[in-house]
Chains A and B, each alone.
Chain A
């Protein structure tokens, strides 16, 4: 027998459970989705401070139609949420802890140092949805600036929703 034939004799068929393939696929797809998500993340991400991050995320989802990126959550062992990311269309905003990185929630600072402009296709529909969800309306979509409205979230951050025809971000019904 040649050395190669001898080596072939030591070859064994390796049985594996079929479930191993499925587990591998699932893990791969999760890794791919995570990377895909990172690569389409915008280069500038505003970070907003909140005293109650969980409540803020829940409100932004419910009232404004934002969506949390769950894989980016930073949660303490005690279950306290320290950081979250929410997205809307191709925009992403960080929801951080009040006082961290020198940023203060308007709720405790008593001042709004900025506002955020969000482009939506249907301002009126977005407005009605936010109103029904309990958003404080700071400026109605009426008068000469009828194609925009402004709302305050529970901690007083100001959001301005502006009509932009080309935005295809669906308003959550």
Chain B
């Protein structure tokens, strides 16, 4: 599966250029300096939102995200080097308002994943398995409680570390761990009802 490079939190700047925290600090007196935060992170966040709600909706949401970030820049924790986890957190909140678009997107992704698996394997049984399985995964993801789905997708799709998920969602790292394990358990349960293995349950 093609992947863009990791967001490279904290490594996304040349030596000697100011950290996000410094830029945000400067933007308190010189608001237009905040444009640099956009330059650094907008593409990553546009991809993040695009994965969840599609490119068209994502464009509007990324605008909302950065306007909220600008308004809240006074409360950015300056001890954090990178603003990216914080921006992910704002993005997650913006996404919550757009749950319906996200559910549609998940199902579209499931259809695509099913198709790709089918092409990959070229084996009748496996292809059928993928086409049946991925819609169920999409269903299961869509039916997770908001907080668990958000935690899981920041971890699994955006590949944020536990620490950065914790920063994004403003949670203790222990809560992130327990949410993730709850999400895992719930998915397992949703995907394999009554404890049966899925290849035998059909």
Residues of A whose CB lies within 8 Å of any CB of B are 2-4, 6-17, 20-21, 23-25, 27-29, 31-33, 35-36
Q: Are B137 and A7 within 8 A (Cβ)?
A: yes
Q: Are B67 and A6 within 8 A (Cβ)?
A: no
Q: Are A9 and B113 within 8 A (Cβ)?
A: yes
- Bound form: Cα–Cα A4–B154 in Å: 11
Q: How many A-B residue pairs have CB under 8 A?
A: 111
Which 9 pairs between the two chains have the least Cβ-Cβ distance?
Answer: A14-B50, A3-B187, A36-B31, A11-B157, A10-B109, A14-B51, A16-B55, A7-B156, A20-B59
Cβ–Cβ < 8 Å partners of B183 in chain A: 3
Please name the residue on chain B nearest to A2 by beta carbon: B184
Q: Are A28 and B35 within 8 A (Cβ)?
A: yes
A-B contact pairs, 23 of them (CB 8 A): A3-B187, A4-B155, A4-B156, A6-B133, A7-B137, A8-B157, A9-B1, A10-B113, A12-B51, A12-B109, A12-B112, A13-B2, A13-B3, A13-B4, A14-B49, A14-B55, A23-B59, A24-B63, A28-B38, A31-B70, A32-B31, A32-B34, A36-B31
Cβ–Cβ < 8 Å partners of B3 in chain A: 13
Main secondary structure of the interface of A (DSSP, over half): helix
**Cβ-based interface call for B110 (8 A):** yes
- Bound form: Cα–Cα A14–B157 in Å: 12
**Cβ-based interface call for B47 (8 A):** yes
Q: Are A7 and B152 within 8 A (Cβ)?
A: yes
Q: Are B110 and A10 within 8 A (Cβ)?
A: yes
Q: Are A31 and B67 within 8 A (Cβ)?
A: yes
Cβ–Cβ < 8 Å partners of B188 in chain A: 3
Chain B interface size, under 10 / 10 to 19 / 20 to 34 / 35 or more: 35 or more
Cβ–Cβ < 8 Å partners of B31 in chain A: 32-33, 35-36
Main secondary structure of the interface of B (DSSP, over half): helix
Additional pairs, 17, CB under 8 Å, beyond known A10-B137, A21-B46, A36-B32: A2-B184, A4-B156, A4-B187, A7-B153, A11-B157, A12-B51, A13-B2, A14-B46, A16-B55, A24-B59, A24-B62, A25-B39, A28-B34, A28-B38, A32-B32, A32-B34, A32-B35
Partner of B187, one of A6, A21, A27: A6
Residues of B whose CB lies within 8 Å of any CB of A are 1-4, 31-32, 34-35, 38-39, 42-43, 46-47, 49-51, 54-55, 58-59, 62-63, 66-67, 70, 106, 109-110, 112-113, 117, 133-134, 137-138, 140-141, 152-153, 155-157, 183-184, 187-188, 191
